Amino acid sequence: MQAILFMLYLDNSYNQMKKTGFTNRKIKGNPKKQGQQLPLNPEVTAFEVLSLRAQMKAILNLLNNTSQPDEQLKIAIPNRFGYDFISLNDILYCKAEGAYTNVILSNKKLLLSRSLGQTEQMLPAQLFERAHHSLLVNIKRIASYSKADGCFIVMDNGDQLNVSRTRKEQLLTRLGVK
């Protein structure tokens, strides 16, 4: 609701700036001597307001997407020819490979030309947790946790993934163990 009110505020501010003759240029000199009205904030350009509107649309899209049941949530993953729309439940984990990220699905692998940090920002935090510096796991797809041999988790597909000592407590908390 707050996001919608903020969007209406931005629309109203932009319309008010259009009425006062606000342009993309910053006003030089004394605008009152030139017969122009001074905008509400002379440091804000119309381009910046449009950028805020685009950001708010992205936030509203994200809010709409997260209000859906987990089974219906999908993410657009870019490929060479367009986008693959992947259900979030199909993602088992994401593993960093330098500046790239391997996304391991239940039936295939995808390689993203994005860092793991950028990939983490695309995914909802309520479903994914860092288990290691180079590993992001879907907590709903963890089959078991083992303390033997330095702590690791086993995913639904049988893959064993190491858990770092620094991330162990947070992961156990998210799993409801601690």
Q: Where are the domains of the chain?
A: 2-67, 91-175
Which residue from 144, 67, 64, 131 is spatially nearest to 95, judged by alpha carbons? 131
3-state secondary structure 130-157: EEECCEEEEHHHEEEEECCCCCEEEECC
Full-prediction pTM beyond 0.85?
no
Give the residue with greater pLDDT, 122 vs 63. Answer: 122
Contacts 24+ apart (CB under 8 A), 13-21: 13/40, 13/49, 14/46, 14/49, 14/50, 14/53, 16/40, 17/46, 17/49, 18/46
Which CATH fold topology does 91-175 show? OB fold (Dihydrolipoamide Acetyltransferase, E2P) (2.40.50)
Q: Which amino acid is at 10?
A: L
Distance CA 10, CA 13 (A): 5
As a whole number, the mean pLDDT across the chain is 77
Residue position matching structure tokens 């009205």: 37
Q: For 128-172, what is each residue's pLDDT tens digit?
A: 999 999 999 999 999 999 988 788 999 999 999 999 999 999 999
Give the residue with greater pLDDT, 151 vs 70. Answer: 151
Q: For 7-41, what is each residue's pLDDT tens digit?
A: 545 555 555 555 555 444 444 555 555 555 545 55
